[in-house]
């Protein structure tokens, strides 16, 4: 996965409702540091069989490691304070982490990334499958049993 920084030259999807895919620039330095720390923590999950097995059971059949190592998956910033994150579509490759997740800290940002990686791997929006990956990947402390795929059904983005 790659971080969408101003220097990366990546253009994320257009805004969809409250979901935005913005580059991390100088004014988002605090959020970028939290994101980098969350990704460093997630590196400890790589190679962990329970997490890889859990991810492999999702519709697209990829392991956690496959998605984490996929350079076509981008992580952007979303200023929304009501959602943790979004993926541009089920099976998409554009993740955005929202300000709400950053307000809660590194563990929530990491959990949000794991959840959104589930949608990248085909987890549908009408089940608990994406959020359920947190239980297999060492993020049970930020797992929310009430999250079912998407919180905002008005827009075709996936939280």
What is the mean predicted confidence (pLDDT) over 2-31?
A: 96
CA distance 90 to 54: 17
Residues whose CB falls within 8 Å of the CB of residue 41, separated by 6 or more in sequence, listed in order: 106, 107, 110
Sketch the domain layout of the chain as residue ranges.
Answer: 2-142
SS3 2: strand
Tell me what the pLDDT averaged over the chain comes to: 93
What SS3 state is found at 159? Answer: coil
pLDDT digits (tens, 9 = 90+) for 25-78: 999 999 999 999 999 999 999 999 999 999 999 999 999 999 999 999 999 999
> Three-state SS for 143?
coil
H or E stretch at 63 = none
Which of these, 97, 123, 141, 114, lies nearest to 45 by C-alpha position? 114
77-98 pLDDT per residue, tens: 999 999 999 999 999 999 999 9
């Amino acid at each position: 996965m790659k971080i969408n920084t101003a220097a990366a030259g990546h253009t994320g999807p257009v805004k969809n409702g409250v979901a935005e895919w913005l580059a991390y620039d100088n004014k988002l330095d605090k959020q970028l540091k939290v994101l980098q720390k969350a990704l460093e923590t997630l590196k400890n999950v790589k190679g962990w069989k329970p997490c890889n097995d859990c991810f492999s059971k999702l519709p697209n059949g990829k392991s956690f490691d496959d998605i984490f190592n996929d350079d076509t998956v981008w992580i952007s910033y979303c200023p929304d304070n009501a959602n943790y994150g979004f993926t541009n579509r089920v099976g998409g490759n554009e993740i955005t982490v929202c300000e709400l997740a950053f307000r809660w800290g590194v563990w929530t940002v990491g959990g949000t990334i794991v959840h959104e990686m589930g949608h990248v791997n085909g987890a549908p929006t009408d089940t608990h499958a994406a959020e359920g990956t947190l239980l297999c990947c060492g993020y049970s402390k930020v797992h929310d049993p009430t999250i079912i795929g998407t919180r905002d059904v008005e827009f075709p983005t996936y939280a």
